Amino acid sequence: MKIFYSKKKLVKELNGNPNIEFVPTMGSLHRGHLSLIKKAKNNLNKTLVSIFINPKQFEKKNDYRKYPKNIKADIKLLKKSKIDYLYIPNYEDIYAFKIKNKIHLDLFADKLCGKFRPGHFKGVVNVVNRFIEIINPKSIYLGIKD
């Protein structure tokens, strides 16, 4: 498993590979994440997992600060899962570029978590779009609530 902390190094490594299976996470991995990773690995392409706690998904800064961080345990689980790449970007890697695709949300964004956490779904869609623009994966694997 190769670990990347730099967008530039990751993009160079991927070199436009059209066969990347991508599983975005915010870390604190659990069985749901591992299930998605297993599905991604079934396609026999390269599997890339990201760990990025997206501040734009949190209405309250305190909730963002309190979000669990278990990077050592996450890396250990991912090594056992035998993924190809792990990307742990910083804020600038994700948000320091202008996106190509404009984001439009349906009224659904005001339901479920969006009802109690304004901006939550916009933050999720925005960061996933940015990852897609960086990685250009063949497939992306999201949990049910995403």
Q: Token pair of 53, please?
A: 């706690």
Q: Which of 15, 16, 52, 49 is nearest to 32 (CA)?
A: 49
Cβ-proximal residues to 6 (8 Å cutoff; 6+ apart), any chain: 89, 93
Active-site pick, 30, 33, 104, 120: 33
Strands across the sheet containing 85-87: 2-4, 85-87, 46-51, 20-25, 139-140
Residue 22, SS3 per DSSP? strand
Active site residue 33: yes
Q: Which of 22, 8, 137 is nearest to 86 (CA)?
A: 22
**Integer Cα distance of 19 and 42 in angstroms:** 13
Catalytic sites, residue numbers: 33
